[in-house]
Chains A and B, each alone.
Chain A
Amino acid sequence: MATSSVSKGCFVFKPNFKKRKISVPIEDYFSKGKNASEDSKLRFETYQLIWQQMKSETERLQEELNKNLFDSLIEFLQTSHSGLWKNSEDWSSEIKLREIPTAALILGVNVTDHDLTLRSLTEVLQNNVTPYVVSLQAKDCPDMKHFLQKLVSQLMDCKVDVQSKEKESVQVIQKNVHYSMDSLSAWYMSVTQKTDPKMPRKKRTFSSQWHSPPVVLILKDMESFTTKVLQDFIIISSQHLHEFPLILIFGIATSPVVIHRLLPHAVSSLLCIELFQSLSCKEHLTTVLDKLLLTTQFPFKLSEKVLQILTNIFLYHDFSIQNFIKGLQLSLLEHFYSQPLSVLCCNLPEAKRRTHFLSANQCENIRRLPSFRRYVEKQSSQKQVALLTSDKSLKEETQSLLENLHVYHTNYFLVLRCLHQFTSFLPKYPLGRQIRELYCMCLEKNIWDSEEYASVLQLLRLLAKDELMAMLQNCFKVFQSSSAKELGNTAKKIEEFLAQFQSLDETKEEEDTSQSQSKGLQKTDLYHLQKSLLEMKELRSTSKRQTKFEVLREQVVSFVDSLVREYLLPPDTQPLHETLYFSSAHTLRQHLNAAPRIALHTALNNPYYYLKNEALRSEEGCIPNVAPDICIAYKLHLECSRLINLVDWSEAFATVVTAAEKMDANSVTSEERNEVIHARFIRAVSELELLGFIKPTKQKTDHVARLTWGGC
């Protein structure tokens, strides 16, 4: 092999230059794969288009969600900085002069997403507040020296952006300068003084507000900094604050308490801390889902299982939006890669256009779709024949079905949101608090068959009037926001309900007063009182159903119910849903959330699972002796405790293997055979060592230690 050597471990392969220029376009890999079939080029293009749209949408969302946070941060920076330079005489500002303005930014535990947020924060700050923004990571700053070194070098880099390039030569010399806070403030003075007269275009805006722009230092992961470095830095820089206007931003993953745990009172009193809370990642997820999946803007949809897996990875593993998006990207790719009909997964007019150009093969593919077959079976026999034989009528039908699917989705999401309005305020949240839970349920099956739905209806029947009205109002807003024609009269209906409730108010009050008057208390004895009370109770229970409000409430509930039953059909009832829905959840799980240990164990414990040879078939828990050597060695080692005697092991191994070999009568002499078996044993053992099941030990001669617990 070209890549094995006893003297080196890296092999560089560099094809000659001419050859290299011809690079293969990515589409080719797409089309050459296993399911190379129709329209692969078109499919790939569609994939890229949709992915780009989704990506920019998520980025936009991210920006939008961060906007509030960033705005308030910027405001804080500006006020605190101007406070610093007011130069007023009074005593309190004198005190203030010693305090470093600090923003504690609580970002949540999803550390992987922090980078993105902080990067955009840096950008925003550089555009709006000051060119001097430096961000440091804990792993770069093990001690004060490195801390300052990083700070200075990054500050210099900031400067390069602003200043002309001829300064660079100066900078190189500066690299070896001894770093200290003094030199830093001297540098700052010189820079601000120098740039003041010959101001570049951008900076004018800053310095018109302030004397000089502040230096913002972002500590990305505050928790992992060493306390000593932090304390020293804060004490020193507070001394220099009057000449070096520093503002700190702490990125905190856990909770604000950590500041006081890291910094003693003497130090933290030098900080003027203000807390900022970023949006929780769960809300973030909800918005992303809302904007990417619960809309007809993107034709691509996820099936229930896939959505469940993605949200579970999010909730149980990392809380990372980025990972979620990655999963989404993968499922999008898989969908376009594996489903030839995904070519129809684009916006409606385009999909209709594409149906015209479908090849005969693709038409066959459509006919083979289970959902389409079910649809055909319901048609009249004449139409069945037409659909199954003529491509033209099939295409026409496909177009109308695609349109139906589109309408279905529009209605679906409206009604889903409407139902969510009703269910999200109920006690105990029988259908989930988040809309994604409700969505999962609705995707899975007919929601109205579930027990939870029944209990929801029951709870709705108990609602008070103002609650119900608030919900209806929300629903009304939902329906109004959309321009769907089908559901236009639903909005009207809701409006009517609202009006009725309003009118109910007046009539009901009258009724109430009249009732209370008629049932005025009379002087009676105990017996009569009891009797009349019983009567009243009976009367109430019978009359309960008769009050107008209850009738109306009942109407509303049944109205919602009918909406749900009509529009919230699960997608797999719809013909052609396969073109839009990605459903192979196991591929997703396999690639994103793999279980290498289990795969290893299965391969060793049950080789039949992979090698479909009848000789390997066995009952649970034991393996046949013809199994691969490593499986036998593994099985034997499971019987041992912490230490394994190699001799015993090898003997046991030999016993098994000889028994297996007896079958194919061997002509080799027994001595040689033993040697071979021993060699096989050695190989199996060293392979197990490589896999990390055992390791050599010095505790006892010729023993190995077992590294896994237990066994079967």
Chain B
Amino acid sequence: MTSTLELKEDKMLKVQFVGDDDVLNHILDREGGPKIKKDRAQLLVNTQKIIKKPENELEEDDQEVLKDQNYVEVLGQDVQESLKNGSATDGGNKVYPFQNRKHPEKMAKLASELAKTPGKSVSLNKNDPEITIDIPQCSKGKILPQFEFLSTAPRGLRKRLIVPRSHSDSESEYSASNSEDDEGVAQEYEEDTNEDILSQKIQAQNRVVSAPVCRGTPSKKMKRKKTSHLVEEYFEAHSSSKVLTSDRTLQKLKRAKLDQQTLHNLLSKVSPSFSAELKQLNQQHEQLFHKWMLQLHLGFNIVLYGLGSKRNLLERFRTTMLQDCIHIVINGFFPGISVKSILNSVTEVLDHMGTFRSVLDQLEWITNKFKEDSSLELFLLIHNLDSQMLRGDKSQQIIGQLSSLRNIYLIASIDHLNAPLMWDHAKQSLYNWLWYETTTYSHYTEETSYENSLLVKQSGSLPLSSLIHVLRSLTPNARGIFRLLIKYQLDNQDNPSYTGLCFQDFYQQCREAFLVNSDLTLRAQLTEFRDHKLIRTKKGTDGVEYLLIPVDNGILTDFLEKEEEEL
């Protein structure tokens, strides 16, 4: 294991004092004359640069392989002139390249790295007594997870080395990162003792250790290799369905459970940062309101994109510009939204009573109505046109047809990364979009507050409360029966082949607990549960009925705790 050897070397070096000249000699030994000057210059470069280097190389190669830059050039490269629209030339390549296999602990590494690059001015000021006192404490806090990762590192490493086609440079990348992990720890001690020179030397040493491997292949050959390398990496990443991640779960963390309300309360304590800049951004956008109105009236429709919730912006647009017009606001992120409800509110505006046979009929009716009466004007504001409920082909077709009417003005926002894929050429020509970038950085509070976000899994407040409600309405005996089932299920939660509690066993247990006196009463109780979807029965292979509660185990534990509190 070369890398463990390297690790040892590093540790030894930490103790030793190495003079400048020694380092130079060392380099001389391994690399020969002409390189000295270069490396010496690099000695002065900070850690970041050196660490970043292999990754930068990779990036360059990616750029070479995916020549989408040419295409950008073709479309005119004047993007940089504008403040908006991102740095088109180098930004794109990073999202698109093939997937590579990642080291499991890479994230933690980056985290510690980021934690180390503080708002420069303050951290570099070592004379500040408060901070020098702080560092050991905080580093302990930070190092604690780090050590855990380090302990998992060799395992990951071994797996990596078993893979037959591990390339020289990927190895070197790994060793570099490995030593740098140590160095992260080392550096913090160094900062403590203010011995900057020493840390620089160690960097130099690390550099030396990893350098020869990198330089082993001539650059020309390497480039060709990297192309095939990229392909191989792709297949490597997809070869096994196994993904190396740690097995820790949120349940072990105490504070994992948060419901919507507490989350909201907690977040209200956070003071927003960069408020001045955000305000400036918003003001920039608000200046466009008149232009939007103009363009809407001239037959274009407007779509807003960019990071951050555009709800407030559109709301301000609504209150400033649309007070005297008929308008409909549609919350696309609302889980119950549908095209039908949008069309219904349009017909509501037109004072139509009665129903339609189908959505298409309704659309036709609306179209005719708007074509007949040219004085009729309607503004549609759609937040999140790309939401789950509206992104379907049919919905988009219908909304597009609505928006193509001359006196319906549509202004919509999209957030999803792939939202533009919703529209083919035909739909795009229906919509007749003008794109506006409105990056606001405001939080998607409203958009994520509905239960369809990732949070549900963690909070689970809805099923829990409904569980409690249902069981409250039952007799104590019935509750007891259900509790028995829960307990049995929780006892078996680590058993992967657990299929449920067999009915006969369950009956036995209930009898022993004096909850039922006959087979029939238990069955009657179970029917009740089944009606409320609290249990599911399955016929096993042996023909016996098995009972199962189709609720997450975490919620069941919570439920039991609550019950016990009440008792």
Chain B residue contacts of A665, Cβ below 8 A: 130
Q: Which of A9, A625, A675 is within 8 Å of B341, CB to CB?
A: A9
Other than A586-B81, A659-B114, give 19 A-B pairs with Cβ distance below 8 A. Answer: A30-B290, A32-B290, A333-B295, A603-B86, A625-B119, A635-B114, A636-B107, A640-B106, A644-B107, A647-B249, A650-B253, A655-B115, A659-B142, A662-B134, A679-B270, A690-B415, A691-B417, A711-B102, A712-B94
The CA of A643 and the CA of B240, in the complex, are separated in Å by 13
> Within 8 Å of chain B (Cβ to Cβ): is A15?
yes
The CA of A702 and the CA of B328, in the complex, are separated in Å by 39
Chain A residue contacts of B107, Cβ below 8 A: 636-637, 639-640, 644, 648-649, 652
The CA of A616 and the CA of B277, in the complex, are separated in Å by 11
> Within 8 Å of chain A (Cβ to Cβ): is B515?
no
The CA of A4 and the CA of B336, in the complex, are separated in Å by 13
Within 8 A of A (CB), among B271-312: 273-274, 276-278, 280-281, 287-288, 290-291, 293-295, 297-298, 300, 305-308
Q: Considering only CB atoms, which chain B residue lies closest to A626 in the complex?
A: B119
The CA of A662 and the CA of B135, in the complex, are separated in Å by 10
> Within 8 Å of chain B (Cβ to Cβ): is A360?
no
In the assembled complex, 15 residue pairs joining A and B whose CB atoms fall closer than 8 Å, in A order, are A15-B323, A316-B71, A589-B76, A589-B79, A590-B85, A592-B435, A598-B91, A603-B308, A611-B441, A643-B245, A682-B458, A686-B448, A696-B454, A708-B417, A709-B97
> Within 8 Å of chain B (Cβ to Cβ): is A11?
yes
Within 8 A of A (CB), among B109-155: 109-119, 122, 130-131, 134, 138, 141-142, 145
Chain B residue contacts of A635, Cβ below 8 A: 110, 114
A600 x B417 contact (CB < 8 A): yes
Kindly provide the distance from the CB of A339 to the nearest chain B CB, expressed in whole angstroms: 14
A601 x B91 contact (CB < 8 A): yes
Q: Considering only CB atoms, which chain B residue lies closest to A221 in the complex?
A: B426
A621 x B439 contact (CB < 8 A): no
A29-B294, A702-B250 given as contacts; is B97 within 8 A of A309 (CB)? Answer: no
Most buried by A among B52, B324, B336: B324
> Within 8 Å of chain A (Cβ to Cβ): is B332?
yes
Within 8 A of B (CB), among A337-385: 337
Q: Considering only CB atoms, which chain A residue lies closest to B296 in the complex?
A: A29
A607-B441, A712-B59 given as contacts; is B416 within 8 A of A3 (CB)? Answer: no
B324 x A686 contact (CB < 8 A): no
A111 x B425 contact (CB < 8 A): yes
Kindly provide the distance from the CB of A441 to the nearest chain B CB, expressed in whole angstroms: 15
The CA of A326 and the CA of B112, in the complex, are separated in Å by 51
Chain B residue contacts of A6, Cβ below 8 A: 450
Within 8 A of A (CB), among B83-115: 84-88, 90-92, 94-102, 106-115
A639 x B102 contact (CB < 8 A): yes
Among all A-B residue pairs, the 3 with the closest Cβ atoms: A9-B334, A602-B86, A659-B115
Name the segment of A19-27, A162-170, A294-302, A465-473 touching the other chain.
Answer: A19-27
- Binary contact readout A267-280 vs B (1 if CB under 8 angstroms, 0 otherwise): 00000000000000
A29 x B297 contact (CB < 8 A): yes
A611-B277, A611-B281, A691-B416 given as contacts; is B336 within 8 A of A9 (CB)? Answer: yes
B84 x A599 contact (CB < 8 A): yes
> Within 8 Å of chain B (Cβ to Cβ): is A322?
yes
Within 8 A of A (CB), among B136-194: 138, 141-142, 145
A20-B325, A601-B95, A655-B111 given as contacts; is B85 within 8 A of A595 (CB)? Answer: yes
> Within 8 Å of chain B (Cβ to Cβ): is A455?
no
The CA of A686 and the CA of B444, in the complex, are separated in Å by 9
Q: Considering only CB atoms, which chain B residue lies closest to A19 in the complex?
A: B324
> Within 8 Å of chain A (Cβ to Cβ): is B511?
no
Chain B residue contacts of A292, Cβ below 8 A: none
The CA of A662 and the CA of B115, in the complex, are separated in Å by 10
> Within 8 Å of chain A (Cβ to Cβ): is B521?
no
Q: Which of A13, A111, A607, A641 is within 8 Å of B101, CB to CB?
A: A641
> Within 8 Å of chain A (Cβ to Cβ): is B263?
yes
Chain B residue contacts of A620, Cβ below 8 A: 90
A596 x B420 contact (CB < 8 A): yes
> Within 8 Å of chain B (Cβ to Cβ): is A457?
no
The CA of A619 and the CA of B349, in the complex, are separated in Å by 53
Within 8 A of B (CB), among A561-577: none
Kindly provide the distance from the CB of A649 to the nearest chain B CB, expressed in whole angstroms: 7
Interface size class of B (residues with CB under 8 A): 35 or more
A592 x B434 contact (CB < 8 A): yes
Kindly provide the distance from the CB of B92 to the nearest chain A CB, expressed in whole angstroms: 5
A318 x B425 contact (CB < 8 A): yes
B246 x A648 contact (CB < 8 A): yes
Chain A residue contacts of B457, Cβ below 8 A: 696
A10 x B330 contact (CB < 8 A): yes
Q: Considering only CB atoms, which chain A residue lies closest to B122 in the complex?
A: A663
Kindly provide the distance from the CB of B113 to the nearest chain A CB, expressed in whole angstroms: 8
B91 x A605 contact (CB < 8 A): yes
B443 x A683 contact (CB < 8 A): yes
Chain A residue contacts of B52, Cβ below 8 A: 621-622
Chain B residue contacts of A700, Cβ below 8 A: 243, 245, 247
The CA of A133 and the CA of B337, in the complex, are separated in Å by 39
B315 x A33 contact (CB < 8 A): no
B117 x A679 contact (CB < 8 A): no
Q: Considering only CB atoms, which chain A residue lies closest to B111 in the complex?
A: A652
A639 x B86 contact (CB < 8 A): no
B324 x A14 contact (CB < 8 A): no
> Within 8 Å of chain A (Cβ to Cβ): is B414?
yes
Q: Which of B56, B130, B329, B414 is within 8 Å of A621, CB to CB?
A: B56
Q: Considering only CB atoms, which chain A residue lies closest to B295 in the complex?
A: A333
Chain A residue contacts of B291, Cβ below 8 A: 29, 33-34, 337
A603 x B306 contact (CB < 8 A): yes
Chain B residue contacts of A111, Cβ below 8 A: 425-426
The CA of A635 and the CA of B112, in the complex, are separated in Å by 13
Chain A residue contacts of B437, Cβ below 8 A: 590, 594, 596, 599
- Binary contact readout A618-662 vs B (1 if CB under 8 angstroms, 0 otherwise): 111111111010101001110111111111111111011011101
> Within 8 Å of chain A (Cβ to Cβ): is B524?
no
A112 x B429 contact (CB < 8 A): yes
Q: Which of B326, B333, B426, B435 is within 8 Å of A112, CB to CB?
A: B426
Q: Considering only CB atoms, which chain A residue lies closest to B308 in the complex?
A: A603
> Within 8 Å of chain A (Cβ to Cβ): is B446?
yes
A628 x B269 contact (CB < 8 A): no
B255 x A590 contact (CB < 8 A): no
A643-B243, A659-B116 given as contacts; is B94 within 8 A of A605 (CB)? Answer: yes
Q: Which of A323, A594, A652 is within 8 Å of B108, CB to CB?
A: A652
Q: Which of B87, B255, B341 is within 8 Å of A678, CB to CB?
A: B255
B435 x A691 contact (CB < 8 A): no
> Within 8 Å of chain B (Cβ to Cβ): is A559?
no
Within 8 A of B (CB), among A671-710: 674-676, 678-680, 682-683, 685-687, 689-694, 696, 699-704, 707-710
Kindly provide the distance from the CB of B495 to the nearest chain A CB, expressed in whole angstroms: 15
> Within 8 Å of chain B (Cβ to Cβ): is A320?
yes
The CA of A376 and the CA of B420, in the complex, are separated in Å by 49
> Within 8 Å of chain A (Cβ to Cβ): is B267?
yes
A3 x B290 contact (CB < 8 A): no
A111-B425, A648-B107, A693-B417 given as contacts; is B246 within 8 A of A622 (CB)? Answer: no
B328 x A13 contact (CB < 8 A): yes
> Within 8 Å of chain B (Cβ to Cβ): is A593?
yes
> Within 8 Å of chain B (Cβ to Cβ): is A144?
no
The CA of A710 and the CA of B62, in the complex, are separated in Å by 10
Chain B residue contacts of A678, Cβ below 8 A: 255, 258, 266
The CA of A9 and the CA of B390, in the complex, are separated in Å by 12
A676 x B114 contact (CB < 8 A): no
B95 x A708 contact (CB < 8 A): yes
Q: Considering only CB atoms, which chain B residue lies closest to A665 in the complex?
A: B130
The CA of A702 and the CA of B330, in the complex, are separated in Å by 33
> Within 8 Å of chain B (Cβ to Cβ): is A585?
yes
Chain A residue contacts of B130, Cβ below 8 A: 665
> Within 8 Å of chain A (Cβ to Cβ): is B436?
yes
> Within 8 Å of chain B (Cβ to Cβ): is A597?
yes
Chain A residue contacts of B134, Cβ below 8 A: 662
> Within 8 Å of chain B (Cβ to Cβ): is A95?
no
